[in-house]
Structure 1
């Protein structure tokens, strides 16, 4: 007997696969700075935790398959602050944004169909595509231009008779890129021309810096029946373990199909939904403080890294990630393992995510790592020093590669 082809084809997480080496490094007494995973260290709002702790019903019963009405109302009210007006029947509460993506994939396409996605992209899209028996078609973006979308002819060239949707993530994980309205409108025009859906992963919508404002796909005129937005409280309220997300669409057929999937898994978690209702009542001052903190972290990390030789990096404008391209490195997977297995700097090392796992194109991203700036500033400054010290030492082990660094 053997497991299914689907299971064998599932990609191992590039974010988590080095965990055993991290455990072993800590066992040897080495302090590890975790820059590999997007786990915010900011406190979960006490309002969220208070609502969960004060659940008073005698039975924790099944909730509605589409989510608690109070939470759907809260999501609608929240989006109205961002110029997007929704009705509760256009919101389906999901078990995290992950389930929303999986539902969207299963509803817009059949087995063997294709979804176009700019790469690098959130690595778990690969797993969801495998579960839905779909094929992700990558469109390459590059560090040198800040990972913005390529020209229309490149995007349109990826469309085939089996294409069913574009998938965009903005603000982006793993690059931190915030797509401009013009870029979104270009993709929308292609969707209209070729009769495609647009799946928009907007779970980092609040995290935009330097005065930039996120444009939601829900704002695009003429796209009302085509847009499916993926949303989540995980990063918004530093509540990754809550597993509460949402799928948003104005297309009633899409919503009805997604509701069937929701009914099959019964309901999203009730207690965490109650926490989310309370958190959504927080005002703009909460998000302003969060944005200010992450922008400060971004600036510290960006300045530290770009002051070193051989780093290709454009300042990310959103989320809390950056893809760092390193001259003189040809195997970032090995580099990431080496940091944990063979390197320490004054008793410390770093854990980063090799970027190759965020690409579908074979061989792409082998000179890049993703870094999440989810540590407070003093720790982030120190982590950057340790990373650069290790990078310099690693390059010295390969003199021929070092000559490429300038």
Structure 2
């Protein structure tokens, strides 16, 4: 059977397809697997209880105990392509209440998850362009700080359209301890990029906190990126899947800003609802209109199930309380546990940990590792432990001669403490042996 160029692109092996296949295989395995590789959020009892309670209330009127016809009718019908109107209105109220952004319903669209949102946005702002004089050009998405999210790499309909900047690597302390580093944006390299100065950038995009590293760009870095985007008349897209105000898995003291040149992307996944596939885009009305049109073609309309659960939680601020008081403290404790376990296993070896500032991952750097982390990934998988090797997290960069891109792994800290301890023990065993044999 022959596929089109479109079909061939999306059926070729990719980092994200390998990751999802391995996760699926692990879930079906009859052998125990230490799941430290995926992006599934943790199971937090207080979070699950609130969602279950809200789900039950969807089917019953709180006053009469009879069937809640409004909720049932909502899920039994399509929304318009922009998304569930009640949820959008709840989000407008929420963001204006907490941030005073003066949003209207024209500033928000829903998607079937944030991966769906980035498929739309990156194809809107990256790829082939034709100007008013019918002159064609090709524009890229500028990633100002790599490594970046593995799921970005293959979303363009044809080819890859990324320009990326490698980071400054700075050794830092964390809670008084050595053995940590932090990535910072290399603004000198960024602002001298020919693709930027010659008009071949369609948008600038960053995640905050960053998946895979847990890095949080500072307010100063974000302000500089916003000014650069406005100077070159391109939007600044911020992937806020782990950030403020929900799920708020972010430990540094930073602020969240929005203006009409900023596109903010949120998700219900990391608050504990990945299966409902609900993403939120906050942007200028022309962007929202474009996303809505794409929704109509690709999805007819976004799913309403996640919106139905989240609407009352947004209206009464329960989603913020849950994020601040349950989700954020849980991951802070997980981060402390993971640091202690890693230091115990590899404290005398060349391990550097990216400073844990947020998200649900650790980014581990094994300096001068005798093998690539792609090979390490295979060895760990054989021992029942899943991580993700670093080479997939550098879209827009030729990593063939960039050794650092072959020395890191992404490790989830969302697993229960027993799985986390067993997985880190396996990582420690395999990595120690590699370094010892190299000596």
Q: Do structure 1's residue 46 and structure 2's residue 52 form an aligned pair?
A: yes
For the residues of structure 1 that align with 2:162 and 2:200, how far apart are their CA atoms? 11
Q: CA deviation at 1:313?
A: 1.2
The correspondence for 2:296, drawn from 256, 263, 266, is: 263
Q: Do structure 1's residue 188 and structure 2's residue 255 form an aligned pair?
A: no
Cα distance change, pair 142–301 in 1 and its aligned pair in 2 (3 A): farther
Q: Do structure 1's residue 119 and structure 2's residue 120 form an aligned pair?
A: no
The equivalent residue for 1:346 is: none
Higher mean displacement: 158-167 or 33-42 = 158-167
1:15 is paired with a residue of what secondary structure?
Answer: helix
The correspondence for 1:335, drawn from 369, 376, 387, is: 376
Q: Do structure 1's residue 274 and structure 2's residue 289 form an aligned pair?
A: no
The equivalent residue for 1:76 is: 92
For the residues of structure 2 that align with 1:142 and 1:47, how far apart are their CA atoms? 46
Structure 1 runs of 4+ aligned residues shifted over 6 Å read none
Cα distance change, pair 120–82 in 1 and its aligned pair in 2 (3 A): farther
RMSD in angstroms over aligned alpha carbons?
A: 2.5
TM-score (norm 1): 0.85
Q: Do structure 1's residue 173 and structure 2's residue 211 form an aligned pair?
A: yes
1:140 is paired with a residue of what secondary structure?
Answer: coil
The equivalent residue for 1:88 is: 105
For the residues of structure 2 that align with 1:71 and 1:134, how far apart are their CA atoms? 34
Contact kept in structure 1, 2:114 and 2:265, CA below 8 Å: yes
Contact kept in structure 1, 2:41 and 2:360, CA below 8 Å: no
Contact kept in structure 1, 2:170 and 2:184, CA below 8 Å: no
Please give the per-residue CA displacement for 1:31-51, whole angstroms capped at 9, x wherever unaligned.
Answer: 211000011132432244325
Alignment map for 1:1-400 (pairs within 5 Å): 2-10=2-10, 11-13=14-16, 14-19=18-23, 22=26, 26-27=29-30, 29=31, 31-43=32-44, 44=48, 45-51=51-57, 55-57=71-73, 60-80=76-96, 82-85=98-101, 86-111=103-128, 112-117=138-143, 118-128=145-155, 130-131=156-157, 135-141=161-167, 144=170, 146-158=181-193, 159=196, 160-205=198-243, 206-210=247-251, 212-218=252-258, 224-236=259-271, 238-249=272-283, 251-264=284-297, 265-280=299-314, 281=316, 282=318, 284-287=320-323, 288-307=325-344, 308=346, 309-327=349-367, 328-341=369-382, 343=383, 349-360=384-395, 361=397, 362-363=399-400, 364=402, 365-396=405-436, 399-400=437-438
1:200 is paired with a residue of what secondary structure?
Answer: strand
For the residues of structure 2 that align with 1:301 and 1:127, how far apart are their CA atoms? 31
Contact kept in structure 2, 1:175 and 1:321, CA below 8 Å: yes
2:183 is paired with a residue of what secondary structure?
Answer: coil
Contact kept in structure 2, 1:97 and 1:246, CA below 8 Å: yes
For the residues of structure 2 that align with 1:313 and 1:76, how far apart are their CA atoms? 38
Q: CA deviation at 1:263?
A: 2.3
Structure 2 unaligned blocks of 5 or more: 61-70, 129-137, 172-180
Query: How many equivalent pairs are there?
Result: 381
Q: CA deviation at 1:259?
A: 2.0
Contact kept in structure 2, 1:144 and 1:313, CA below 8 Å: no
Contact kept in structure 1, 2:235 and 2:261, CA below 8 Å: yes
Please give the per-residue CA displacement for 1:227-258, whole angstroms capped at 9, x wherever unaligned.
Answer: 1111111112x000101111111x22222222
2:99 is paired with a residue of what secondary structure?
Answer: coil
Contact kept in structure 2, 1:177 and 1:317, CA below 8 Å: yes
Contact kept in structure 2, 1:51 and 1:274, CA below 8 Å: no
Q: CA deviation at 1:52?
A: 5.3
Contact kept in structure 1, 2:109 and 2:292, CA below 8 Å: yes
